[in-house]
Amino acid sequence: MSLQSPARAASRGASVLFASQTRLAGLWRSVAASPRAGLAIALLAVTLVWTAAWMQWWLNDLVVPWDSKNQFYAFFRFLASAIHSGATPFWNPYHYSGHPSIADPQSLIFQPPFLIWAWFDPEPSLFAFDFLVFCHLLVGGLAIAIHGHRIGWPAAASVLAATVFMLGGVVAGRMNHVGIITAYGLFPLALLLLDIALDRRSILSAIGFTLTAVLLAIGRTQEPMLLSAILVAYALTKVAVQERPLAYLGRRLHLFVLMALLGAALMVVPILLTAQLASFSNRPAVDLETALTSSWFPVNLATFFAPDALGSLQPSATGDWGPSHGTRPGIDSTDRSFNYLFAGTLTALLLLWHGLAGGRIFASGRRVFAIVALAGLAYALGRYTPVFPFLFEHVPGVSRFRRPVGGLFIVVIGLAYLAGFLLADYVRRGLPRLNRVVAIGLGLGTAGVLAWAIQFSAHSGKGWESALAIAKVAPIYVALIVLLAWPKTARLRLAAASLAVVVTGGELVLRNAGSSLNAEPRAWYAFLEKPAGRDAGIIATLTRELKKHGSRATRPRVEIVGLGGPWQNAAMVYGFEATNGYNPLRIGPYDRLVSPGESPYTVLHRQFPTSFPSYSCDLSKLLGLEYIVLDRPIEQMPHLAQRSVVETVMAGPRAWIYRLPDPSPRVALASAVRVADADAFIEAGSFPRVNGTHQEVMVDDDDELSQQATANQQATPRQGTASALTPAMQALMRSPGKAEITAWRPDRIEVAVDARVSTVLTLHEPWYPGWEVEVDGVRKPLLRSDVLFRGVEVPAGASKVVFAYRPLSLENLKAALDGLLGRDE
């Protein structure tokens, strides 16, 4: 299915929208004097626009692609499966040998709509996932319509603002970034509830605002940080513009205290857990120069006036001749999805004509949103203004993120509210009086930007295509100018505004929904729901092999590399314990020593450091890696430092599956203990094998060893002196006992141990804060065994050992707080 076919169905959807809203335009004229009816019409129209947009995916069997499915959908499926298995979704064993999902902002654990859906549906579909994400935009659009009603906008203005918010610019471009879209969609609701709380001194609205703002903020990425800053700035502005600010603040002080205390209480746990992961993760500090490569190059402003001026809406194979990795290598780390800004011709026209040339953007109530849009633009421009570098160096939090271009979401918010204000002003007051100097300057500036876009496109041989794309939108601007200039009465202006909104709504649905920016055929990701063909054969073979060779002693792990984007996190969907996955945020020591890579859709991302030189190395065996799935024969793997001994299970043509011999059991006992600095090994990028056998275990020098473990260490001769031991002692060291996993679920593992002497049990799962261990019901210190793994001392005899992940314990939260405050040294 090509991406040209969606255009036909998009036209059908746009036609339905046009016909529906044309009929509504007549109703709007009759309800202009009826605010309640006007609000109902606005809410209905916003829902119709949203429905028409959503239908572009549904009718054409499309889904939002890339990260939405390769990453977030897989997390959603794990969330559902964990809940239905009776476990918590806090620890994900199918991702990088184990991953603290509760600390990962991308895991959706703190998103109630996804959590509720997962509670009832053990295998959510691709469409269900997209629907939930898209519903967040509807919530935001309806909240804007209600906000517009509160401040006296006609229905047409509310619908325009909501449509721009739901479908405008970078929102359409980056629909696949689920965490950003869900936080963004909640912003208008938070702003509305804040406004009501302060205007009415409503405790209930203050609580509602706090709950919404917390859900927004715990997205814990750059956009939630910026959106939270806007909410704080808006509240301060509400106080500052009053005639008696101190008196106004005094009457609402209890609301501010309530919101601050409740918000802090609700946010503290997610923030602490994420900070704990960040401090223990692979993610290095972002330097300013790296961040500036994701600046918004100013020529992208052309897409605000003409959506396809830089090829943004062309099929992926032929489009995107604007600023990107390819056209500005080494300088630009953005692409068309980041850079897109088209929010409708009416929005551009109102901003330049009525807002700037007519001066209405500077009126009371508009200025705050004009400042929001301007601040977002200055932030997004990155290297091209001094704003972002200053914030990066001096404002806490900004340096944590690497993409100033994310400020475009703030620009779209400002544009949405400004469009509503300006269209409401037009209906009430007619055309503005123009400042001719400003108007001429804006005209020349716009022409200059469009000419620059043509010239920039010419470097890729697309100059004529760019000029044609610009020429195509010119008649729409002319028609809208004539439409808005003709009416002389408020009633006729309302009709003209309504028709203009119909045109813009259809325009945004047709261009921005279900386009090559945000849609691919569902079939490309369908195997995540129901595998078919060769993909089904790969899944079936792996499932059969894992069942055949898996046991309580050996839980085989899998590594999948090179099969393309949807396969990167497929292990989460099908319950394979994988050594890799797709995630920019990983446990740091594991990432350093195993080097699984962030994006295994291609084998080029799989590195083989000295600590993991081949699939047959010691670390591979200890991880229990037994199956590798490649898109080519293993002999053709790049970067493979040493030859791996393998048994061929499947030899193409879609995939090559290999089985590795002699993986280590998931649990092991060692009676000889050596203390060393695990962090030193990690820093050096080396992995130790103690004595080259499983008879000795290394524990970190920061661990609290018992007297027995210390005595064992002192009594154990160093390598090369084992002959000093009696035969009986050597026999005990070779076979200190046995251990077997008796119960397993993602967040809890039970092990039965029968030890001949006091020994150390090692569970070959990544060591991470929040894991606790009990021996026969008694809490014991969790050891860091062999650099990466979890261990515990067990006495001689039979015992039951339970490892449990308890990230919400007061002990772990206190440790996370101490780490955040630098008190863990």
377 touches 301 (CB < 8 A): no
CA distance 445 to 436: 14
CA atoms within 13 A on the CB side of 154: 27
- Between the alpha carbon of residue 376 and those of residues 18, 214, 255, the distances in Å are 32, 21, 28
pLDDT at position 554: 81
Please write the tens of the pLDDT for every residue from 109-132. 999 999 999 999 999 999 999 999
Please write the tens of the pLDDT for every residue from 308-345. 999 999 987 566 689 998 899 989 999 999 999 999 99
| Strands 520-521 and 625-630, bridge-based pairing | unpaired
The residue among 86, 84, 72 whose CA lies nearest residue 747 is: 86
CA distance 762 to 43: 59
520, β-bridge pairs: 63
pLDDT at position 575: 96
- Between the alpha carbon of residue 716 and those of residues 702, 783, 794, the distances in Å are 20, 19, 18
pLDDT at position 731: 54
The residue among 282, 119, 275 whose CA lies nearest residue 807 is: 275
pLDDT at position 37: 85
Burial (CB count within 10 angstroms: exposed 0-12, middle 13-18, buried 19+), residue 81:
buried
CA distance 340 to 512: 10
CA distance 410 to 400: 18
* Rg of the chain (C-alpha set): 30
CA distance 780 to 786: 18
Compute the 3-state secondary structure of the chain and give helix, strand, coil in percent, each to the nearest 5.
55, 10, 30
CA atoms within 13 A on the CB side of 564: 11
- Alpha carbon dihedral 440, 443, 447, 453, in 10-degree steps, equals 130
| Strands 520-521 and 62-63, bridge-based pairing | antiparallel
Q: Label residue 634 by pLDDT band (50, 70, 90).
A: very high
From the CB of residue 688, how many other CB atoms can be counted at a distance below 10 Å? 16
pLDDT at position 690: 56
Residue 667 has pLDDT above 50, yes or no: yes
Q: Label residue 23 by pLDDT band (50, 70, 90).
A: low
Beta strands in 687-820 (DSSP E): 696-700, 737-745, 748-755, 759-766, 771-775, 778-780, 783-785, 789-794, 797-805
Q: What is the mean pLDDT of the chain?
A: 91
Please write the tens of the pLDDT for every residue from 427-445. 999 999 999 999 999 999 9
Domain chopping of the chain, boundaries: 5-520, 526-659, 667-718+725-820
Q: Which two tokens stand for residue 298?
A: 């100013």
What angle (nearest 5°) sits at the alpha carbon of residue 143, between those of residues 139 and 145?
120
369 touches 436 (CB < 8 A): no
Please write the tens of the pLDDT for every residue from 61-104. 999 999 999 999 999 999 999 999 999 999 999 999 999 999 99
659, β-bridge pairs: 627, 647
- Between the alpha carbon of residue 484 and those of residues 46, 163, 354, 366, 759, the distances in Å are 22, 19, 11, 21, 84
625 touches 615 (CB < 8 A): yes
Residue 714 has pLDDT above 70, yes or no: no
CA atoms within 13 A on the CB side of 759: 28
pLDDT at position 707: 39
Residue 783 has pLDDT above 80, yes or no: yes
Phi (first) and psi of residue 53, to 5 degrees: -70, -50
| Strands 625-630 and 656-659, bridge-based pairing | antiparallel
CA distance 44 to 112: 25
Phi (first) and psi of residue 316, to 5 degrees: -55, -35
Q: How many residues does the chain have?
A: 825
Q: What is the mean pLDDT of residues 388-410?
A: 94
What's the DSSP call for residue 614?
Answer: S
Express as a percent the part of the chain with pLDDT over 90: 83
What angle (nearest 5°) sits at the alpha carbon of residue 442, between those of residues 440 and 444?
70
| Strands 771-775 and 625-630, bridge-based pairing | unpaired
Q: Which two tokens stand for residue 638?
A: 């790049």
The DSSP secondary structure of 343-387, one letter per residue, reads --HHHHHIIIIIIIIS-GGGSTTTHHHHHHHHHHHHHHHGGGSSH
CA distance 165 to 414: 9
Q: Label residue 250 by pLDDT band (50, 70, 90).
A: very high
The distance from CA 314 to its chain's CA centroid, rounded to whole angstroms, is: 25
The residue among 343, 345, 335, 344 whose CA lies nearest residue 312 is: 335
Bond prior to 653 in cis (omega within 30° of 0): yes
Burial (CB count within 10 angstroms: exposed 0-12, middle 13-18, buried 19+), residue 35:
middle
pTM of the model: 0.92
Beta strands in 606-724 (DSSP E): 625-630, 647-651, 656-659, 667-670, 672-676, 696-700
CA atoms within 13 A on the CB side of 185: 23
pLDDT at position 709: 46
Beta strands in 522-579 (DSSP E): 557-561
pLDDT at position 25: 52
pLDDT at position 428: 95
Q: Label residue 552 by pLDDT band (50, 70, 90).
A: confident
- Between the alpha carbon of residue 472 and those of residues 12, 305, 316, 348, 357, the distances in Å are 20, 11, 21, 15, 24
Orientation angle between helical segments 490-512 and 155-167, nearest 10 degrees: 20
Please write the tens of the pLDDT for every residue from 293-318. 999 999 999 999 999 999 999 987 56
Phi (first) and psi of residue 699, to 5 degrees: -120, 150
Q: Which two tokens stand for residue 701?
A: 């020098």
CA distance 654 to 316: 24
Which contiguous run of DSSP H or E holds residue 521? strand 520-521
